A and B are shown apart, each in its own frame.
Chain A
Amino acid sequence: MKYKALYAGVLFGLILLVLFSLGSGLWGGSADLHWTDQLFSGVCHQIPNRTFTFMGELMAVNTRCFGIFSGLLAGWILIPLLKDMISEKKWPLICLLFAGLLQIIDYSGNLFLLWENTNSSRFLLGLPLGILSSIVIADLFQST
C-alpha cells in the first residue's frame, strides 16, 4: 500500500471529525455554546429537530452531515480492502456523482414541499455520499 502516512493521518482526522460531531454528549456539557457546535457552525445549519441526540444531548451536526462524516470514515477504513477492486474502474465515480445528485434532489424536494424527508432518510442518503467520496480514491493507494 502506498502513502501509508497520508492514509494514517487522514484516518486520524476523520476519527476526530466523527468524534467531534457527536457533540457535547461525548465531550461534556457547557453553559455557553459548546466548542463542538462552534467548530461545525460554518459548515452545518445545526437545526435541533434535524439533529440526532447522543447521550441525551444534541449532536454538533445535523443528520445528513453526520451521515456524510460517518460515511467518509467508513469508506476510508475500507480503502485497504478495496484498493485493488477499484483499480481504474469508473463505477465509483459514477456512483459518487449519483449520490451527490440524490442529495440535491432530496434537499430540493423537501424545500419545495414535494415530500418531507426525515432524520433517518437524511442520514441514510448522506452515508453513501461519504463512503463513495472515500473509496473513489482507493486505487491511488494501490502499490504498483
Chain B
Amino acid sequence: MEMEEVNQEQENSFSFSNYWPSIAIVGAIFSLVSFVIGLYFGYQQINSEPAGSFISPVMISSGVICLATAFAGMIAVWHYTKEVSPFMKLGQGALVGFLTGAAIIIFSTVLNELWLLIDPEYTEKLIEATIANVEAMDLPQDASNEMVDAMAQSMGDQSFFKQIFIGIPIPGLLNMATAMIGVKIFAKKKDEISF
C-alpha cells in the first residue's frame, strides 16, 4: 500500500525543476571532460612538429569529444531514473537530452573563455600549429589555402553568444537521440503519466 502511494507520487511529481539536477550534473561533467580532452590534444598539437598528417591531435580530439558528449543525453536519463523517478516518457527524455546537449555547450564555452584568462595566447598558438600542419600536407595550393582559411575562421575569435547559438542545435539533437535510447533502456513504462 505504502509502495503504491510512493509510485503514484513519483508519477505525479513531474515538474521541470526535477530535470535540472540531472541536466546540470551530467552537462557539467561531460563539458569538463570534453574541455580537458580538447585542452590535452590542443597542447599536444601546439607542442608537436607539423607532421602533415590528416590525423592530427586536434582531429582526434574532435572525434573523441563528439563520441563522448553524444552519450550525455543517455547518461542524464539514467541519472534521472536513478535519482528522481524511474518513470519517464519519451518526450521528457527527448527534452532532457536536448537540454543536456545545450548545457554541455554552455559550460564548455564558459570553460574555454576562462582558460583564455590563464593562457591568452592559446587560441592563437593552436591556430598557428594547425595551419602549420595543413601547410605540411601534400595538398594542391588552392585546397591548402582554402583549408587554412576555413580553419583560421572556425578556430578564431567568435563572440560568446555566437559560439553558443551555433553550437547548441546539433549536439542538442544528437543528445536527444541518445536520451530517447536511454528512456528505452533505463525508464520504466508508465504510459498513463501526463507530460
- Tier of interface size on chain A: 35 or more
- Report chain A residues within 8 Å CB of B63: 45, 107
Known contacts A10-B176, A13-B173: A47-B54 contact under CB 8 Å: yes
Nearest chain-B residue to A33 (Cβ)?
B153
Binds A, one of B17-25, B117-125, B179-187: B179-187
Set B55, B59, B147, B167: member contacting A42, Cβ < 8 A: B167
Question: Nearest-CB distance from B26 to chain A (Å)?
Answer: 18
Contact B183 A137 (CB under 8 A): yes
A119 within 8 A of B: no
Question: Main SS of chain B's interface residues?
Answer: helix
Residue-wise interface mask of B (129-160) relative to A, using a CB-CB cutoff of 8 A (1 in contact, 0 not): 00000000000000100110110011000000
- Report chain A residues within 8 Å CB of B153: 32-33
> In the assembly, what is the distance between CA of A35 and CA of B169, in Å?
13
Set B66, B70, B105, B184: member contacting A140, Cβ < 8 A: B184
Contact B181 A136 (CB under 8 A): yes
A55 within 8 A of B: no
A72 within 8 A of B: yes
Contact B170 A42 (CB under 8 A): yes
Q: Number of residues in B with C-beta < 8 Å to the partner?
A: 36
> In the assembly, what is the distance between CA of A13 and CA of B66, in Å?
19
> In the assembly, what is the distance between CA of A134 and CA of B90, in Å?
13
Tell me which of B105, B149, B167, B170 has the highest count of chain A C-beta atoms within 10 A of its own C-beta.
B170
B174 within 8 A of A: yes
For window 29-51 of chain B, which residues contact chain A by CB distance below 8 Å?
none
Contact B54 A49 (CB under 8 A): yes
Tell me which of B90, B147, B183 has the highest count of chain A C-beta atoms within 10 A of its own C-beta.
B90
- Report chain B residues within 8 Å CB of A96: 181
> In the assembly, what is the distance between CA of A2 and CA of B70, in Å?
26
Question: Nearest-CB distance from B52 to chain A (Å)?
Answer: 13
Set A3, A17, A45, A47: member contacting B170, Cβ < 8 A: A17
- Report chain A residues within 8 Å CB of B147: 48
- Report chain A residues within 8 Å CB of B105: 42
For window 42-91 of chain A, which residues contact chain B by CB distance below 8 Å?
42-50, 72
Question: Nearest-CB distance from B18 to chain A (Å)?
Answer: 19
Other CB < 8 Å A-B pairs besides A93-B185, A111-B60, A139-B184, 20 of them?
A2-B90, A2-B191, A13-B176, A17-B173, A33-B150, A37-B150, A40-B170, A43-B62, A43-B66, A43-B70, A44-B66, A45-B62, A45-B63, A49-B54, A50-B54, A96-B181, A133-B177, A140-B90, A140-B184, A144-B191
Query: 17 pairs across A/B with beta carbons < 8 Å?
Result: A13-B173, A17-B173, A32-B153, A33-B154, A37-B154, A41-B154, A43-B66, A43-B174, A47-B59, A50-B54, A93-B184, A107-B63, A111-B60, A136-B184, A137-B180, A137-B184, A140-B183
Seen from chain B, the residues whose Cβ lies within 8 Å of a Cβ on chain A are 54-55, 58-60, 62-63, 66, 70, 90-91, 94, 105, 143, 146-147, 149-150, 153-154, 166-167, 169-171, 173-174, 176-178, 180-181, 183-185, 191
Seen from chain A, the residues whose Cβ lies within 8 Å of a Cβ on chain B are 2-3, 6, 10, 13-14, 17, 32-33, 35, 37-50, 72, 93, 96, 107, 111, 133-134, 136-137, 139-141, 144
